[in-house]
Amino acid sequence: MNAPGPVPAPDHVFDWLDTEADKRAAAGLVRRLRPRRADTGEVDLAGNDYLGLARDKRVAGATAAAALRWGAGSTGSRLVTGSTELHAELEHELARFCGAQAALVFSSGFAANLGAVTALSGSESAIVTDKYIHASLIEGCRLSRADVAAIAHSDVAAIKHALATRRKPRALVVTDSVFSVDGDLAKLGELTEACRAHGAALLVDDAHGFGVLGEGGRGAVHQAGLSGAPDVVTTITLSKSLGAQGGAVLGPRRVIKHLVDTARSFIFDTALAPGSAAAALAALNVLRAEPELPGKVLAVASRLSEQLAEAGFTVSTPDAAVVSVQAPSPEKAVAWAESCAEHGVRVGCFRPPSVPDGISRLRLTARADLTESDVDAAVKVIVDCAPR
Ligand SMILES: Cc1ncc(COP(=O)(O)O)c(C=O)c1O
């Protein structure tokens, strides 16, 4: 008898993906990668390079020099071969700048958030979050095995109630400092009071506040007088204001020690590339030397928002660098953003599922290196390209 031949590979196991793709197309939710050229000449109101440092020669040059000295990659996880002297120096300098006891660098802000939320909670914990927190924090909550309550946006009374009625002994309140979609600021003072009244720790994702808010760009947590607090932990990304790549957690020394021992996105992840650590360090030095940069970002954000409001759009009032402009539908938002790009202005386009309230938007980000005439010209393009 012949042995049975190999089973032919079935070509239908991923058929369901086509059905899902059709559904997304019908809802106007298809996403497209648009590789940019190095020299577009576009006005960039879509990126997160708030201080305009990503291509600054001091910052990009530090990347190149570090890559030549230390290598293109870090060669291993932080606990094996991936920790270089650059990582240690960056952690020291970030903590010193922000007034935290200690800092720990991760390979991204996403990894920092996953690591912080999971390591600081667990099955004995309740996590109470604002509904509009960043996706990376939401993923951390999902992995945490904690009881998770996601509360309506900016509703501190409901957060207090959730803390008071929790069934678990430990509690962690999780919030963005500046919310990614509309750019509004969390009520950090009230949240801290609520945490302290109910024995909870506070975790603040300051991705959009660091480098833009607080004295010299020390961030929203510093601005709220909470840096160095024994019950507050901050996460940041190195990929926005610092124009580099990577993330960090800042907080009490014992929190950082706990993360080194237990945060899985720290332990089981290749360390941040030396070039990125060096770039972040160089950018931090620029920020120290030029403390006026954050104020320039805020002025650009206000000018954008005021002019678009005057033109009749529904625009957020920016608390930091992010300005959002409502669009009538996902399809119209995409067409609006594409038309702006064709006219030399790159804007962000946020649609479901990236918007917690389901409203599609153009998302504009201010940059310190834009002049008033850059802003005025960009606003004219956005107004001219608006859907009729
Ligand atoms: C609020 C917030 N947290 C975390 C992250 C993730 O940071 P990273 O891009 O460094 O992974 C982002 C970036 O998009 C963000 O906007």
**Residue-wise pLDDT tens digits, 190-225:** 999 999 999 999 999 999 999 999 999 999 999 999
Question: Which residues make beta-bridge pairs with 270?
Answer: 77
Distance (Å, rounded) from C-alpha 156 to C-alpha 370?
36
Mutate to test the pocket of ligand 1, among 179, 237, 319 (most ligand atoms within 8 A of CB): 237
Question: 134 CB less than 6 Å from ligand 1?
Answer: yes
Q: Over the stretch 67-99, which tens digit does the pLDDT of each residue have?
A: 999 999 999 999 999 999 999 999 999 999 999
Written as one letter, the residue type at 129 is T
According to the model, what pLDDT value does residue 1 have? 58
Answer yes or no: is the C-beta of 107 below 6 A from any ligand 1 atom. Answer: no
Amino acid at 91: E
CA of 247 to the centre of ligand 1 (A): 8
State the Cα–Cα distance between residues 342 and 377, nearest whole angstrom.
Answer: 14
C-alpha span between 263 and 187 (Å, rounded): 28
- Cβ neighbours around 225 below 10 Å, total: 13
Closest atom of ligand 1 to 133 CA is: 1
CA angle, corner 289, sides to 49 and 63, nearest 5? 50
Q: What's the CATH fold of domain 57-289?
A: Aspartate Aminotransferase; domain 2 (3.40.640)
The segments of the chain whose pLDDT lies below 70 read 1
Position 28 scores a pLDDT of 79
Measured CA to CA, the distance from residue 207 to residue 183 in angstroms comes to 11
Q: Are 323 and 316 in contact (CB under 8 A)?
A: yes
Regarding the domain delimited by 292-384, which CATH topology (the fold level of the hierarchy) does it fall under? Aspartate Aminotransferase, domain 1 (3.90.1150)
Tell me how far apart the terminal alpha carbons of the chain are, to the nearest angstrom.
73
- What is the location of CATH 3.40.640.10 in the chain? 57-289
- Cβ-count burial 325-345 (b if 16+ within 10 Å, e if not): bebeebbebbbbbebbbebeb
Q: Which two structure tokens, joined as six digits, stand for 30?
A: 């298809």
Q: Which of 49, 134, 350, 354 to mutate to test the pocket of ligand 1 (most atoms within 8 A of CB)?
A: 134
Nearest CA to ligand 1 atom 7: 109
| Residue 306 burial (10 A CB sphere; 0-12, 13-18, 19+) | middle
Ligand 1 atom 16: residue of nearest CA: 180
353 preceded by a cis bond (ω within 30 of 0): yes
110 C-alpha to ligand 1 centroid (Å): 6
Ligand 1 neighbourhood includes 235 CB (under 6 angstroms): no
pLDDT of residue 50: 98
One-letter amino acid of 56: D
Residue 196 Cα distances to 192, 193, 202, 220, angstroms: 6, 5, 9, 19
Comma-separated ranges of CATH 3.90.1150.10 domains in the chain: 292-384
